Structures are given as C-alpha cells and as structure tokens.
Amino acid sequence: MHFLECALQKFMKRFFLIAVLFSMGALCSAQSENDSKKISVSPYANLGFNITVNTASKEKSAPPPVNFAGGMGAIIDITDFITLEPRLDFWAMYYLFDGKDALPAEIEQRTASVLCFMLDVPVGFNFRKGSHTFTPGAGLGILMRFAFLSSGVKPDDHGATGSAQGDAEKIASWFWGKGRFLYPEVFFAWDYSISEKLRAGLTARIYLPLGSIIDGKGLDATIINLSTRFVF
C-alpha cells in the first residue's frame, strides 16, 4: 500500500506539472492568432450528477454518495482549436466527523449539511466534424465547501468532539486542510449544433483529490461528474 500511495503521489505531481505546462504552452502558441481573431464567449447551463468515491468503512460512513449537481459556465474560444471553459457547479451533501476525518454520511447519521461549490477553469482542445464538436481537456478545480449544523441536530447532541456543534466546526475546518480543496481534473465534452445559436451536449469530468493523495488515502474523495449542457 505504501508503494501504491507513493506512486500515486508521484503521478499526481507529474500530471499537474504537465497539465500546467501544456496549458501555458498552448495558450502562448495561440497568442499570435488572437491578434486577428476576436475572442467569442458562449455561456451555458448544465445539469447532472456527481459520484464521490468513499473508501471509508461503511460501518461509520455512507456508500459512495450520488448527488444531483447543477451550474453554469462559459466556453471562451481563444482560437478555433483552443478554449477556456470556466464553470461553477453546486450540490449539497451530509457529513459526519469520526474524531479524525470528515466523512460522507447518510441522513440518519448526519451531523453537518454541506454546500459544495466547484470552480474550475480547464483548457479544452476542439475537434470538429460537421455539427459535432469533441473537446478533451484538463485543468484545476477548487472545491469550496461550507458546513453548518444540520436541521434536526441539536448543538449539544453527542459528537466525536463532545458535541455536534464541535463536530460541525471540525468538519468545516477539515475541508480546507492539507490541500483537500484542490482537484486537478480531466474532462471530455461532446456538443451538437442544433442551430447557429444553440448547442446541446454531454460532459464527463474526473476530479482527482490532491489532498487525499497527499494524505496517503489514494483516490478516496475522487469526484466523477456526468452532465448535460446547453450552450447559447
């Protein structure tokens, strides 16, 4: 297991470095084209669901949660080939604190309700064929999570820290420790042009948990997102 964790950490460091260098190189190479081409911005709305990998014992935590997620973003055409695709997604989850870690919880064992916002600005590379556009890409996501005591849970209820309120505060601070808010990502999108001003498509994204890998927990907390989007 130690060998696997070390290998994953090395992979993530190399992946992140290569993604950053590749994206910077691609954007720099596109700079000369920008002088003669006007940058276009196409907003979009998306709706789908997330699967969050959870390797913790099911005796104290929940099975991998599946949560509906929605949001909005934009496709910024730097060139015909290269795009920036900023996006903000929102979803909600339940968490508990086991004395060491914040873990996804089912509603019966919840302590905190958590509002989750994923902000990412990946670089995409477009391949067009007729009315179809295929876009693989990569970038970095920042997961902002805000925890508060769940409705129906009293502040002085029993908790790992002595009270439910104490657990909720621990959960809130845990999210920001050890890089747990950093999520390098890879994605693939397919869009179909319905008309000159409307496209519809599907996206698949994998957010890799930098904090979990640094903490020796491998791919625990990986987020897999599948969604449909409408581009205007």
- Range scoring the smallest mean pLDDT among 18-32, 106-120, 161-175: 18-32
- Range scoring the smallest mean pLDDT among 55-64, 94-103, 104-113, 178-187: 55-64
Q: Which domain does 185 fall in, by range?
A: 2-32+40-231
Which residues, other chains included, contact 208 with Cβ-Cβ below 8 Å and sequence gap of 6+? 12, 15, 183, 184, 185, 186, 219, 222
User: Structure pTM?
Assistant: 0.84
Q: 87, 128, 91: which is closest to 113 by C-alpha?
A: 91
- Range scoring the smallest mean pLDDT among 24-33, 134-143, 167-176: 24-33
Q: Under a CB-based contact definition with an 8 Å cutoff, are residues 232 and 198 in contact? A: yes
Total count of domains within the chain:
1
- Range scoring the smallest mean pLDDT among 27-36, 137-146, 189-198: 27-36
Burial of 21 (0-12, 13-18, 19+ CB in 10 A): exposed
What average pLDDT score do residues 28-56 get? 80
- Confidence check: pLDDT of 24 > 60: no
Q: Under a CB-based contact definition with an 8 Å cutoff, are residues 160 and 99 in contact? A: yes
- Confidence check: pLDDT of 81 > 80: yes
Rounded (10°) CA dihedral 171, 176, 178, 180: 90
- Confidence check: pLDDT of 31 > 70: no
pLDDT at position 58 is 86
Q: What's the CA gap between 223 and 116, in Å, rounded?
A: 12
Q: What's the CA gap between 104 and 118, in Å, rounded?
A: 17
- What mean pLDDT is reported for the chain? 89
pLDDT at position 5 is 46
Render pLDDT for 153-206 as a digit per residue (tens, 0 to 9).
Answer: 999 999 999 999 999 999 999 999 999 999 999 999 999 999 999 999 999 999
pLDDT at position 59 is 87
Render pLDDT for 207-217 as a digit per residue (tens, 0 to 9).
Answer: 999 999 999 99
pLDDT at position 37 is 61
Q: 118, 133, 143: which is closest to 192 by C-alpha?
A: 133
pLDDT at position 60 is 87
Rounded (10°) CA dihedral 20, 230, 89, 96: -120
Torsional sign, CA 168, 94, 1, 15: negative
Q: What's the CA gap between 180 and 101, in Å, rounded?
A: 11
- Residue type at 229 in one-letter notation: R
Q: 190, 84, 81, 192: which is closest to 138 by C-alpha?
A: 84
E-state strands within 196-232 = 198-207, 223-231
User: Beta strand 132-149 with 82-84: parallel, antiparallel or unpaired?
Assistant: unpaired
- Confidence check: pLDDT of 18 > 70: no
pLDDT band (50, 70, 90) for residue 25: low
- Confidence check: pLDDT of 38 > 50: yes
Q: Give me the residues paired with residue 77 across strands.
A: 40, 83
What's the CATH number where 150 sits?
2.40.160.20
